[in-house]
Structures are given as structure tokens and as C-alpha cells.
């Protein structure tokens, strides 16, 4: 029997030789040959998680942290569907995953056999490709086929844009080795390796782009979501300095180390009068990275349309979120900015125009910052107060994970200063769901030694409670739960805040606290409902003594809603003075 399953066992060997080091294995019987293969391979670290939805987000976090595809394995039936939220997030966030779903042979599907559903192409358009392996391996061509598919899937997951690739694996019984049989791996498995080369901007393209840049005096560079990349940061900021361009970046852009990053565009563009916005209209925007949080920036650029919009990425089709895309520049952003970081051949007064434009953005940034200082100096204890204090107390080097809904909005509203250049920011903004935010941060924690700090709301926290349902220690994980007993965001956005059914069907009030969950999973629990209690709790919270810790900020929806509205009024008044 070992010989019959050898092509399946060798999947693990191919993955290892392709550089994959992490595998997440969900319990089940149909997947036994795959599970035993990965668990038996010395070169791959394997972990098991019972909740497939949580497991898939943990794999996402592992892949992000290690910058390498993570393997994900489940049994047949509905187990595969539970991977779907994380698969979609990985697809839109461009994270490489290699997903193996065990399956019944096709002739038994829809025949009332246990744990059988239609699994081929189960993830639809949310994977880069879906493969189906043969159910019989007796012919040598089947061996070749399996090895070819696995190689192709691994390489495809790491071809820009990175993303998840699915392999469905029909398996016949018997599924387990006979007593005394040992799982081994073939010595000469087929391994296809790529030769990685980077496209360079040609001399002709560089000269043409430089000539065009000289004709623009109002250049806005927008950094979308991306990991902390010092090389890109250095090249892009140098470009902006030389070209006199303004640079805007949400907290998820990881551009906070640059002193001149426009951090508060979402805030001041919501309240600035039209005559101010008109002065900020660019004639060229240059974008790189993925999405931006700011709805107000999107709305502004859709109304005050630039003459041209260049987007930089290595390959593929580029989205057009501002409805202004005119050119895709196929290049690595670092290479693009480095190539064009030369003194522009324009008259001095033209260069002064460029600097004047970037200064207009800086004026609005400084105005907003001044309003912040006044507002936060008298802010009583509450959600905004607590998030501000905790962000200020973050360790010099840590990963900051931000859950969706109000958590990411609070974090973006407060922002990180250039002094926090060792804070690397992560958020599931591919689909912007709350379903796997905690599990993703768990994946990072399992594969890194730096502190991992998660900001999350109560609904997101309880929704993803099975992130802690496993046997692995998380000594460097710290979780901040902002508990206002519901989805306070629905009190703040247009529409649901005005309807009678708001509390039951949108805000969805809940009475839980994190204390019992922490006790259940043997996690240290801290709570703060006053400024003094927060100061005391933070000392313990940021003591790394081998324990996972949860800090629950107790709040009320009424207070959170009132404070947020007061903040918006403070910004609005700065334009009325």
C-alpha cells in the first residue's frame, strides 16, 4: 500500500524542496495520507487546528510573516468551505497559500456517501488556479502529472500577483499505512525551479517618464497597503523630496517612518471646504501598493480628478479605485522610484511650484495635527483615549495587527509617528472582514519572536474565539479588546444609524466580556475602565513573561459615539476659525 500512496507522500517532499517550511493540518480521515506525509517530513513545521476557518487565517498569518507559501490541508466535505474566507482574503491581499483539500473519488460524489460535496473549483475566482489530481496512481504518467501540478501550483502562488492556489486530491481507501510501514520520500522527485529576474526600466522609458514628470507641478504619491519595506520607503521618499511631490499613506501603508507622510488625509478631506480641496487637486497621482483605508481620499480624487494616474506594479491588471487610471508602469516600486530620483531638468520657478503644492498638503496636515493636540489634551477616558495611550506605549519593535470595523478606523485616525519606525502594521484589508483577524495575528506570532499586538473590537474578538483553540503557546501575543458590547460603527456611518431596527439588526448588542474566554484558554486577563486602571494595566500588559495576555477596554456605545462626533466637530471648527 505504501507504494500506492507514494505519489501523495512525495507531495510533501516537493513542497520542502521548493522552500515551503510551514504547514497547517486540520484533523480528518480522508486527508490522512497528506497529513502523515507533511507530519513525517523533517523539513516542514506542522501544526494542527480543529476549526478550519481559524486554521486558514492562521496559515495566512504564517505566510505573511515568513514571506513564503504556507500549506493548508483539510479533509473532504464542508471542511473545505470553511477555508473560503481566508482564501478570499489571501487572494485580494496577494498572499501565497497552497491549499490541499482531500476528496472522495468523483464517482461517489452526490451518491449519499459521507462527507462528499462538489469540491473541484470550490473557491471559484478567489484562487489563482484550481487543480484536480487523478484518483489512481498506478500509471507512471499519473506520478508525473501529480509532481508537475504540485510544482506548477507552488510556483504560481509566488508569481506576481501572489495568491492562493488550490489542489483537490481524490483519495481511495485504505488511507492509512499498514502496521510497521514507515512513510518515506522518493529521492528523485521532480522539482521545477524558476530563475528570478527583475524587469528594469529601460533608458528610453526613463527618459520619457522624466520628461513627462517635468511637465507636472502638482504630484501626489499615494502609498497603499504594503508590508514594511525599508528599501521602498527610502526610494519613494527620496523621489518625493527631489520631485517636490506630496506623499499620502494610511497606517496600513507602513510609511509612518517618513516625517512628511500625510497621515490624516481621511480626517481633513472629510471637513475641508471645497475651496481648500480645489487647491489640493493633483495633476498627476502615482500609486503603489494595494488598497487605502480612506474613503474620503477616494471620494476627493474621484471628484477632483487628476490629468493622469500612474500605477506601479511588477505585472498584471491594475485596479482603478480613483476612476482615473491612465498608465500601468510594470516595475518594482523601489526600482521605479530609484530610477527617477534624479534632479528634474526644470526651471527653478517650476520646481518651486512643485514644492508649493506639497506644502499645501502639509498645511492641512499641520492644521489637523494642531486640532489633535487640543482635542486629545482634554479627552476623558474612553475608546479613543485608550487606543491613543496604547499606541504610544507600543514596544519599539513589534507587529501591530489591526482588526476591521472601528479598530482599524481608530488606529488610522490616531496614526503612528516617525518615532515608531520599528512598528510593522498588518490588517486584513483584502476583504475587510472581521472573521479571522485574531487567527491571522496568531499565525504571525507562531512564526516570529517579536511582540505581536492586536487591536480588536468585541464582535471581531468573539467571532474568532477559536483562534485560541489549539495546543500552541503564544508568549509574544498581546490582545487589546475594545468592548462596547456591539458594533458601534453602525451608530456612526450613514444609513443604519437612522433606522429603528439599528440596535438589534445592525449594532447587534452583546453582553459578553473577555474574562471567561481568557480563563477558558488559560490567558492572562487585564481590564481597564479608567485612565488610572489603564496605566496600571499597561505595565503588566507589556511585560513579556511567557504568557499570552488580553487587555479589555470597557466602554459604552453612547460615550464612544459622542466622543467620535465631538472629534469630527473639533476638526470642522478648525476650518471655521
DSSP of 291-334: --S-HHHHHHHHHS--SEEEEEESSSPPP-TTS---EEEES-HH
pLDDT bin (cut points 50, 70, 90) of residue 113 is confident
Q: What are the tens digits of pLDDT across the range 333-349? A: 999 999 998 766 566 66
Strands (E), 82-163: 97-103, 130-132
Neighbour-count burial of 276, counting CB atoms closer than 10 A to its CB (0-12 exposed, 13-18 middle, 19+ buried): middle
Same structural domain for residues 564 and 428? yes
One DSSP character per residue, 255-288 reads -TTSTT-B--HHHHHHH--HHHHHHH--SEEEEE
Same domain, 219 and 362: yes
Strand order in the sheet with 22-25: 45-48, 22-25, 70-74, 97-103, 164-170, 130-132
Residue 525 backbone phi and psi in degrees, to 5 = -120, 130
Residues 393 and 486 in one domain: yes
37 within domain boundaries: yes
User: Do 150 and 218 have their domain in common?
Assistant: no
Specify the number of domains making up the chain: 3
The CATH number of whichever domain residue 525 belongs to comes to: 3.40.50.970
CA angle 95, 97, 100 (to 5 degrees): 160
Average pLDDT across the chain, whole number? 93
420 and 493 assigned to the same domain: yes
- Where does the pLDDT of residue 200 fall: very low under 50, low under 70, confident under 90, or very high at 90 and above? confident
Domain stops at, among 313, 348, 370? 370
Whether 203 is in a domain gets the answer no
Judge if 328 and 406 occupy the same domain: no
**Partner residues linked to 551 by β-bridges:** 480, 526
Task: Report helix, strand or coil for 457.
Answer: strand
For residue 198, is it within any domain?
no
pLDDT of residue 493: 56
Predicted confidence (pLDDT) per residue in 131-175, tens digit: 999 998 888 999 999 999 999 999 999 999 999 999 999 999 999
Task: Identify the domain containing residue 111 by its residue range.
Answer: 2-170
* 70 to 157, 228, 238, 524: CA distances (angstroms): 10, 20, 35, 30
Same domain, 366 and 311: yes
Radius of gyration of the chain (CA): 26
Same domain, 237 and 110: no
311 close to 318: Cβ distance less than 8 angstroms: yes
pTM: 0.94
The tens digit of pLDDT for each residue in 451-506 reads 999 999 999 999 999 999 999 999 999 999 999 876 555 555 565 556 656 565 55
Does residue 327 sit in the same domain as residue 385? Answer: no
Residue at which a domain ends, from 326, 347, 370: 370
Q: Is residue 177 part of a domain?
A: no
| Same domain, residue pair 6 and 143 | yes
Asked if residue 293 and residue 230 are part of one domain, the reply reads yes
Task: Let me know: does 455 contact 411? Beta carbons within 8 Å.
Answer: yes
Same domain, 246 and 339: yes
Amino acid at each position: 500500500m505504501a507504494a500506492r500512496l507514494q505519489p501523495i507522500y512525495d507531495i510533501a517532499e516537493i513542497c520542502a524542496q521548493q522552500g515551503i517550511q510551514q504547514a497547517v493540518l486540520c484533523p480528518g480521515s480522508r486527508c490522512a495520507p497528506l497529513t502523515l506525509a507533511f507530519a513525517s517530513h523533517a523539513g516542514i513545521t506542522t501544526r494542527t487546528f480543529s476549526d478550519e476557518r481559524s486554521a486558514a487565517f492562521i496559515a495566512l498569518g504564517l505566510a505573511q510573516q515568513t514571506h513564503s507559501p504556507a500549506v493548508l490541508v483539510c479533509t473532504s466535505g464542508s471542511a473545505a468551505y470553511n477555508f473560503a474566507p481566508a482564501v478570499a482574503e489571501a487572494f485580494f491581499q496577494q498572499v501565497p497559500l497552497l491549499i490541499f483539500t482531500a476528496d472522495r473519488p468523483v464517482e461517489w460524489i452526490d451518491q449519499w456517501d459521507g462527507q462528499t460535496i462538489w469540491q473541484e473549483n470550490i473557491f471559484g475566482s478567489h484562487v489563482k488556479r484550481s487543480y484536480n489530481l487523478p484518483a489512481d496512481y498506478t500509471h507512471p504518467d499519473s506520478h508525473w502529472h501529480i509532481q508537475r501540478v504540485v510544482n506548477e501550483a507552488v510556483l504560481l502562488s509566488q508569481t506576481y500577483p501572489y495568491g492562493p492556489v488550490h489542489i483537490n486530491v481524490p483519495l481511495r481507501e485504505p488511507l492509512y499505512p499498514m502496521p510497521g510501514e514507515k512513510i518515506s520520500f522518493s529521492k528523485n522527485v521532480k522539482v521545477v525551479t524558476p530563475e528570478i529576474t527583475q524587469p528594469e526600466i529601460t533608458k528610453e522609458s526613463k527618459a520619457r517618464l522624466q520628461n513627462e514628470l517635468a511637465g507636472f507641478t502638482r504630484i501626489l504619491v499615494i502609498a497603499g497597503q504594503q508590508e514594511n519595506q525599508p528599501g521602498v520607503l527610502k526610494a519613494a521618499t527620496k523621489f518625493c523630496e527631489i520631485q517636490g511631490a506630496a506623499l499620502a499613506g494610511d497606517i496600513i501603508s507602513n510609511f509612518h517612518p517618513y516625517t512628511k507622510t500625510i497621515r490624516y488625509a481621511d480626517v481633513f478631506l472629510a471637513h475641508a471646504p471645497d475651496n481648500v480641496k480645489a487647491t489640493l487637486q493633483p495633476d498627476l497621482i502615482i500609486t503603489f501598493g494595494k488598497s487605502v483605508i480612506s474613503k474620503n481620499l477616494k471620494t476627493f480624487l474621484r471628484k477632483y480628478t487628476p490629468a493622469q494616474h500612474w500605477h506601479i506594479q511588477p505585472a498584471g491588471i491594475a485596479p482603478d479605485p480613483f476612476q482615473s487610471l491612465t498608465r500601468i508602469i510594470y516595475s518594482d516600486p523601489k526600482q521605479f522610484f530609484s530610477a527617477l530620483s534624479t534632479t528634474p531638468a526644470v526651471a527653478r520657478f517650476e520646481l518651486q511650484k512643485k514644492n508649493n503644492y506639497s506644502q499645501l498638503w502639509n498645511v492641512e496636515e499641520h492644521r489637523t495635527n494642531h486640532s489633535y493636540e487640543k482635542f486629545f489634551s482634554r479627552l476623558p477616558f474612553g475608546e479613543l483615549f485608550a487606543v491613543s495611550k496604547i499606541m504610544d506605549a507600543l514596544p519599539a519593535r513589534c507587529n501591530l495587527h489591526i482588526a476591521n470595523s472601528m479598530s482599524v478606523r481608530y488606529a488610522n485616525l490616531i496614526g503612528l509617528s516617525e518615532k515608531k519606525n520599528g512598528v510593522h502594521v498588518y490588517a486584513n484589508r483584502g476583504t475587510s472582514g472581521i472573521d479571522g483577524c485574531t487567527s491571522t495575528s496568531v499565525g504571525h506570532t507562531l512564526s516570529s519572536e517579536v511582540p505581536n499586538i492586536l487591536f480588536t473590537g468585541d464582535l471581531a474578538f468573539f467571532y474568532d474565539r477559536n483562534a485560541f483553540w489549539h495546543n500552541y503557546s503564544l508568549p509574544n501575543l498581546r490582545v487589546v479588546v475594545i468592548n462596547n458590547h456591539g458594533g458601534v460603527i453602525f451608530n456612526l456611518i450613514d444609513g443604519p444609524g437612522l433606522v429603528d431596527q439599528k440596535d438589534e439588526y445592525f449594532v447587534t448588542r452583546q453582553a459578553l466580556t473577555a474574562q471567561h474566554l481568557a480563563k477558558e484558554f488559560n490567558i492572562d486577563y487585564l481590564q481597564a475602565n479608567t485612565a488610572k486602571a489603564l496605566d496600571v494595566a499597561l505595565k503588566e500588559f507589556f511585560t513579556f513573561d511567557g504568557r499570552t495576555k488580553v487587555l479589555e477596554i470597557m466602554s459604552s456605545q453612547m460615550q464612544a459615539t459622542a466622543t467620535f462626533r465631538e472629534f469630527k466637530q473639533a476638526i470642522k471648527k478648525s476650518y471655521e476659525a
